[in-house]
Amino acid sequence: MSCKVRLMEDGSLDEEPLTLKEIAYQKLCNNLDIISSHRPDGQRGLNPGIVLPNEICDGFLENYQRFNRPLDDSVIRLFEDTQRTSLKIVNLRNSTLSSIGLETLMRHKLFALSMWYCDMITVGSHHLLAHYGDSLRSLELGISSHLLQYAEPNEKEPVDFQLTCPHLRRLVLNGVVMHHRLQFAHLHDLGHLDLTSCVLANFSLEALGSLPNLHTLILFNVWPIANQLHAICCLRRLCTLDISISSSGNGHGTYDLPDQTLEMLMDNLRHLTHLDISGTNLAGNGVATKESTSTSGSQPSTKMEQHFALTDIPGLASRTQRPLQFLGLYHTAHWACKRHDIPALEVAGDANEQQILTAARYYHDRPVLLTRVLNDLYHLFRFENCKDIHTALDVVLSAMDRHLKFKHMQISGSATLFYIVKGRDRSKFGALLRNHIIRTLLNGMEMHITDDTMLRNGYLTLTQFHMPVDVLFEYERLIKILLHGVSKTEQEGFVQRIAIYLLNTLACQVDGRQKLFLGELGVVSTMFTLIKDRLTRSVFDDVMEVAWSTMWNVTDETAINCKRFLDGRGMEYFLKCLHTFPDRDELLRNMMGLLGNVAEVKWLRPKLMTQEFIEVFARLLDSLSDGIEVSYNAAGVLAHIASDGADAWTIKTPSREHVLERMVAAIQRWNIKSERNINYRSFEPILSLVRCYETPQCQHWAVWALANLTQVYPEKYCKLVEQENGIQILNELIEHESPYCEIKRIARMVIEQCESGSDRMVEG
């Protein structure tokens, strides 16, 4: 299905918004309980009293697949009752439907049936065509639709079938062996016949001569057909003929007398408007010819009686005055598509952007060929030579959506999308279009999750979007794909590094519900696996650093993830990293930031109350690593632990008083104007320490933290202090008798800074 990218009136690129009917279908597809319920046997069935007319049934199946739902037998069971449901036009793509489900559909006496990438349908179901095919007007059996193919992959005998669908007007077969007993004479209404990649074996195209209405014949990748050309020439009513192949590297598509062969076809098929000879040598070697015509054979003619037909394709000399509507010249011999005088209004080739986009439009269901076309587009975008952005986007997204299971298509398409999204027009993409690009990428990555190239292309393209805002609508699916990239790829590989970078970015900027989801999916344990591996090899790299940063982010104000950290032997990994990589400032900052989150959870703090841990935290108070960050976080951890009171300090050494003295000494060394590498979404944990009158040293750390943040980043943090009732809490502290003078002085700084900030906003 084409995404229909449009250039909007405001100059932006976007898709048309969903219609009211499409919104209703989307709602229905997401909530099948509206029309159905589970029966005692566990299967879903239509609710009593529900009757769905044909228009709704056809639209439901189409939109169920459009909104990325797997169409399987459980959904098809809703249409078991042909008295209450009615299907006429069914298009199946990437479905896990079985032969049982197919029979359910065909009992509706379908008007049109199309199947692509339906791997569960077997050749054993071909009898369904005999039983239910009488009503069919259109039958399309695309790639991986095995209805008329070999019963088993290793079998060589073709399926002995007859097309018992007498009213067919359109027939598309792909990769079917056509046996000599196959009859077409009874298909009087057949006008469109597509035999892409079929094997003719002993089948002769002379059998098509009995079809009075045949106007379109597609023989793409059918070879050899040189001995069938005379039969083709007898199909005088043909308007469209395709004898192209995907590649001539194996000698296929090479004719002994190309100019004469093409001329013979033109002389016999005078109604042709569409011709495709891509991959062949039928366009000749590029030597232009002049064809002279006159009113008499022996007498010289006047200028009015004589004209010259000029073309660079000798076999098409007769069409210079009556050009074809379409001519396929993609990858022809001697670069025919690059010639100047081509007698066609539209040309599919690779000579320029227009030809490439035309090829993509005509070859939308030829994945091997379409992949090459997308590669051509990739090179255009890589060197910023593509002008028709919205058509190119439409082409790429449509190709990837239609051929989800074709890995090379997904790889090529995702590489092209990277350069499209990276380009200067990215800012013009509307929300619907952005969503479609992201969804299409995730579909391809999910389908080919074990392919590093697909993951790399997808991850790199996603880095071009605004995180996390642009991906929140697919947040959970993206996280699962990222976790796979982090945990399943080779050690120190690029895919792993880009995946963990994206994962950390998402963990940093989302709310508590999404942080909970990250924890439930095993982010913490995955990070431990990475850390353990690098400790074993004594390797410090950016993955190690970002792994701790990710855990710092997912534990922020999320107690259960803090517990997951402790339960996963997090403190053991902390001490090992501290010992193995003592001079890594970024690592130390990330680890202490994480422990600051753990220390904010009151019911987890007893797990930090060991002599070993407290001695480490106290020693880090004197650290100069990463400015004040490590010292600041160590003090924060100790302040929260000490706030639980003397009774909770269950170790003898170091003593609580000694640690608090060292903490205050560290605070007094810090510069109040120090810039920070930290992000607070709430001051609730800090403000709770401001109220800790039993231990003024804890209050000292808390008011210093507020003063520093409001001094250095007043626009963000003054507002946060006021929103969380911080001014009142600080005024209460100033009025209280317990805090010492330095604490009250710093508290006044915070209040004054916030008030001056408010005055500036009023003046502005």
Query: Hey, what are 400's tokens?
Result: 């990837």
Higher pLDDT, 306 or 491: 491
Report the C-alpha gap between 244 and 117 in whole angstroms.
23
Give the model's confidence band at 10: pLDDT under 50 very low, under 70 low, under 90 confident, else very high. low
In this predicted model, what pLDDT tens digit does every residue of 708-742 receive, in sequence order?
999 999 999 999 999 999 999 999 999 999 999 99
Confidence of residue 80 (pLDDT cuts 50, 70, 90): very high
Q: Identify whether the C-beta of residue 109 lies closer than 8 Å to the C-beta of residue 135.
A: yes
Confidence check: pLDDT of 150 > 60: no
pLDDT band at 286 (very low <50, low <70, confident <90, very high): confident
- Listed as own residue / partner, the contacts of 676-681 with beta carbons closer than 8 Å and 24 or more positions apart are 676/629, 676/708, 676/709, 676/712, 676/713, 677/589, 677/626, 677/627, 677/629, 678/593, 678/629, 679/508, 680/709, 680/717, 680/720, 681/556, 681/557
Cα-Cα end-to-end distance for the chain: 52
Place 383 in a pLDDT band, splitting at 50, 70 and 90.
confident
Gap between the Cα atoms of 445 and 449, Å rounded: 5
In this predicted structure, the answer to whether residue 676 has a pLDDT above a threshold of 50 is yes
If pLDDT is split at 50, 70 and 90, which confidence band does 441 have? Answer: very high
- In this prediction, residues 383-402 reach a mean pLDDT of 88
Given pLDDT bands bounded at 50, 70 and 90, which one contains residue 16? confident
| Whole-number percent of the chain with pLDDT over 90 | 69
Range with the lowest mean pLDDT among 40-44, 423-427, 459-463, 629-633?
A: 423-427
Neighbouring CB atoms inside 10 A of 603's CB total 9
Instruction: State the average pLDDT for the chain.
Output: 88
Tens digit of pLDDT for each residue in 522-537? 999 999 999 999 999 9
Asked whether residue 219 carries a pLDDT value surpassing 60, the answer given is yes
State the pLDDT confidence band at 672, using cuts at 50, 70 and 90.
very high
Q: What span, in angstroms and rounded, lies between the C-alpha atoms of 537 and 601?
A: 33
3-state DSSP assignment of residue 292: strand
User: What was the pLDDT predicted at 239?
Assistant: 97
Residue 390 has a pLDDT of 85
Q: Which residue has the higher pLDDT, 4 or 87?
A: 87
Q: Which ranges of 610-695 does DSSP label H, i.e. alpha helix?
A: 611-620, 629-642, 656-669, 684-690
Q: Given pLDDT bands bounded at 50, 70 and 90, which one contains residue 307?
A: very low
Mean pLDDT of 698-707: 97
CA–CA separation, 492 and 488 (whole Å): 11
pLDDT at res. 608: 96
Q: Is pLDDT of 255 > 60?
A: yes
Mean pLDDT calculated for residue range 310-339? 92
Q: How far apart are CA 748 and CA 735, in angstroms?
A: 11
> Taking 80 as the threshold, does the pLDDT of residue 53 lie above it?
yes
> In the Cβ-directed half-sphere of 381, how many Cα atoms lie within 13 Å?
30
Q: For position 490, what pLDDT does the model report?
A: 60
With CA atoms as reference, report the closest residue to 146 among 178, 114, 124.
124
Does the pLDDT at position 303 exceed 50? no
Is residue 299 pLDDT above 60, yes or no?
A: no
**Residues 345, 311: Cα–Cα separation, whole Å:** 14
pLDDT category at 7 given cuts 50, 70, 90 is low
| Structure tokens, 530 | 């990475």
Q: Report the alpha-carbon distance of residue 117 to residue 666 in Å, rounded.
A: 67
pLDDT at 43: 85
The interaxial angle of helices 585-599 and 542-554, nearest 10 deg, is: 20
Instruction: Note the pLDDT of residue 153.
Output: 46
Confidence at 310, pLDDT banded by 50, 70, 90: confident
**Comparing 127 with 110, which gets the higher pLDDT?**
110
Residue type, 602: K
pLDDT at 145: 75
pLDDT at 306 (0 to 100): 36
Percent of the chain topping pLDDT 70: 91
The two tokens of residue 237 are 């009513």
Phi first, then psi: give them for residue 334, nearest 5 degrees: 60, 25
Rounded to two decimals, what is the model's pTM?
0.86
